[in-house]
Structure 1
Amino acid sequence: MNVASLLEAARAKGIRIATAESCTGGMVAAALTDIPGSSDVVERGFVTYSNAAKMDLLGVMKATLDAHGAVSEEVAREMAEGALAHAPVQLAVSITGIAGPGGSEFKPEGRVCFGLAARGRPTQVETVEFGAIGRAQVRAAARDHALDLLVKALTRP
């Protein structure tokens, strides 16, 4: 499904979307808003690159960041749920990861954690290891994966 079809599916269901992005820096929101007429579906995007922004704008807990680090499913969960709580939307997707270059033995380059929060449903989180494919490629792959998560959320019963 392309982005225009994603927006049409959301529109048909009366669903508004928010994004909470770290390593993608707003690429998901940009992909959604590249389509004319997206304003009736896309409510807002949070670019929370720093830990302070994650806490201030989305309510991510310092204890979660201290215990698990910014690149974790726990933080992705709190980011998605924070976007849902801080915006008049029914669906929110979050992304936090290590686009590179760099990383560590425990958190390698290309690791990206995603969250998907929807009103009335349990929040889903997952980690994808894109590998050390380069910063631009990791960011693009993360954007596309987040869009796919939105599509799946909009097409399941």
Structure 2
Amino acid sequence: MFTEKTVKELAQLLGEKLTNAGLVATTAESCTGGGVAYAITEISGSSLWFDRSFITYSNGAKSQMLDVDPSLISEFGAVSKEVVNAMAIGAVKNSDADIAVAISGIAGPGGGTEEKPVGTVCIAWYNAHSGHKAESYLFVGDRSEVRTQAIRLALLGLIDNIESHF
């Protein structure tokens, strides 16, 4: 189980990395409902390196706010690497940020399928200067645990993006 302290420490480290790199971040969140943005804004001074968050829980919001093509959602589903990639790119395009993380998943307890069971979460990271990366995960635990694991990995991926530029 990941504690809030661990998430807060990651958010603090992210802020230091973004500041040193001269980058600004944004988030596009579905199943985490703004959890990554909450962790980031718990850090004093985060307004210097965090622009905004898009909470796009519905498919319509993903299209309206992040310019995700509805045909991507129809073809691959909202919980897919293709859709989170489009969400991350759309978040940067529709903000004053350089770097984004996007998350979509099935936190449970319902909503899973055989192909995409509860705990399936897709996360994408996009850096306007160095490209993107998307991964699919299967987390174990209840709704809160799945969401916390996704938040933690989202922050870790942003830090990795800055350090390695993918």
Identify whether the pair has TM-score above 0.5, normalized to the shorter chain: yes
**Which of 49, 52, 77 is the matching residue for 1:44?**
52
The corresponding residue for 2:72 is: 64
2:10 partner letter = N
Q: TM-score, normalised by structure 1?
A: 0.96
Cα distance in 2 between the residues matched to 1:14 and 1:62? 34
Deviation digits for residues 64-113 of structure 1, max 9, x if unmatched? 01001100001010000100111111100000000001211111000000
**SS at structure 2 position matched to 1:123:** strand
- Is 1:4 aligned with 2:12? yes
Unaligned runs of 5+ in 1: none
Q: TM-score, normalised by structure 2?
A: 0.91
- Is 1:105 aligned with 2:117? no
Residue 9 of structure 1, CA deviation: 1.2
The corresponding residue for 1:126 is: 135
Pairing of 1:6-155 with structure 2 (within 5 A): 6-102=14-110, 103-131=112-140, 133-155=141-163
How large is the RMSD of aligned CA atoms in angstroms? 1.0
**SS at structure 2 position matched to 1:2:** helix
Q: Number of matched residues?
A: 156
Cα distance in 2 between the residues matched to 1:4 and 1:86? 25
**SS at structure 2 position matched to 1:128:** strand
Q: What fraction of aligned residue pairs are identical, expressed as a percent?
A: 41
The corresponding residue for 2:4 is: none
1:156 partner letter = S
1:110 partner letter = G
C-alpha contact 2:10 2:152 (8 A) present in aligned 1: no
2:91 partner letter = A
Cα distance in 2 between the residues matched to 1:64 and 1:90? 24
Residue 2 of structure 1, CA deviation: 2.7
1:32 partner letter = I
Runs of 4 or more, structure 1, over 4 Å off, are none
